[in-house]
Structure 1
């Protein structure tokens, strides 16, 4: 295994994920699960806040000099220093509906660049992680393996995924996504973290989202790029605060951006 200089941070990220998994698995399908909504009308459960509070508490003890930014309790990522970026439950809608496709996302951002990514999906029995310079890895029921993106080089042969077609209508352009679908071989909506992890695994070739927050993609960016892929926003900028996300195997990235940009709004 290639060793990243962030090995100790990866070890800690694994402990944080274990802490999160213990909470989320206990609250999944709980009859007394408390559900509210945030100002943007997205749902939040008591499990979301419990996970973030527990992870923040552990970080305060183990990395007191680092900052924290999370979906539920706030904080800024910034471009200076070390910031742990948390999404306690990515896929909250799935979580509250009893669908097992959700995960805790943990990233370490150093001077504005994600350098450690940990994604744990306990009900899927899968955990993905990466540290800058150390490759991307997956552990599932078959064991542990290093990840590599696909070698598909033409959109006509590509497998593409998004989260929700309606989000393209609200936040970008329905025509843009449909143009990409028409250019590709097959399309699905695996959604959220999972589609980006599947790009890192080489199982699909393109994952695209018109609306994201930094905590949705900080861990994703490390895992995809360490697997040999490419991550940008829909303007082609390598940043996690661009408000959108595109993960590809790298070979398809420019063609994907051009296809999206070339479609007329609608």
Structure 2
């Protein structure tokens, strides 16, 4: 069954990419949602396309999406979709956004896909299987060993995502790492799964921001938890630690605690 699920996720990503690519670096009508993040016709059309394909193949499955909300969220299998993660990057022409398609079974992520439709890169992680990676630019799908945070490459989308209470905790971690690179959204987690980034720490992530990422990170040999080192939850605060080398996790948790 897992192969059927993976095939459906890939087909949905292919269909979404066909919607997104013609609009990338074109003139788009950008609106403001309630949280002031940009929304384009590409977001909405891509999510509609993904939902339609998944509903056709698995009519009993649920879905949670950024643009169109929940359907059958209490089902055994629930797809979690972000049609364009990193919309700000998308509307400014930077190819570090991605389409995220994740699948939860009984509330636990079991399948994740990151697709970068502009560059042709795709990461697929599934429970019980190794990481699948496709790219015309190369890259090795495996995390790297990192002995300590002092040697680690840290990535974070933006310092603005942290609350006043979280900011000094992140600052402690940042000062303990080799350096920090800002920006990247889901793409940073893909780079972690290629052994190019060692740790990603973020906050205020919604389920559609992280459900697809966890299986990819874990399939590559890494780990992904909340700031207390506990499994991520749909009702959690969205605080995320992703590490390429799980040995980094206790040190990171201690600094963020």
TM-score (norm 1): 0.90
- Contact 1:150/1:205 (<8 A) preserved: yes
- Who is 1:233 aligned against? 226
Quote the offset at 1:144 in angstroms: 8.2
Quote the offset at 1:76 in angstroms: 6.5
- Contact 1:71/1:86 (<8 A) preserved: yes
Give me the whole-angstrom Cα distance separating, in 2, the residues matched to 1:149 and 1:79.
Answer: 34
Alignment of 1:74-85 (within 5 A): 74-75=69-70, 80-85=75-80
- Who is 2:121 aligned against? 126
- Who is 2:46 aligned against? 51
Match of 1:26 among 22, 25, 44: 22
Quote the offset at 1:78 in angstroms: 5.3
Query: Is residue 247 of structure 2 the alignment partner of residue 251 of structure 1?
Result: yes
Give me the whole-angstrom Cα distance separating, in 1, the residues matched to 2:165 and 2:187.
Answer: 21
Quote the offset at 1:79 in angstroms: 6.4
Query: Is residue 139 of structure 2 the alignment partner of residue 139 of structure 1?
Result: no
Regions of 4+ moved over 4 Å: 76-80, 142-145
Query: Is residue 65 of structure 2 the alignment partner of residue 95 of structure 1?
Result: no
| Cα 1:80–1:233 shift into 2, 3 Å | farther
Q: Deviations over 1:203-260 (max 9, x none)?
A: 1110010110000011100000111111111122211422121100211011001111
Match of 1:157 among 151, 154, 166: 151
- Who is 1:62 aligned against? 57
Quote the offset at 1:61 in angstroms: 1.1
- Contact 1:171/1:210 (<8 A) preserved: no
Give me the whole-angstrom Cα distance separating, in 1, the residues matched to 2:138 and 2:26.
Answer: 30
- Contact 2:64/2:73 (<8 A) preserved: no
TM-score (norm 2): 0.93
Give the superposed CA RMSD: 1.8
Gaps of 5+ in 2: none
Give me the whole-angstrom Cα distance separating, in 1, the residues matched to 2:166 and 2:64.
Answer: 30
Quote the offset at 1:124 in angstroms: 2.8
SS in 1 for 2:193: helix
| Cα 1:150–1:25 shift into 2, 3 Å | same
Match of 1:202 among 179, 195, 198: 195
- Who is 2:169 aligned against? 176
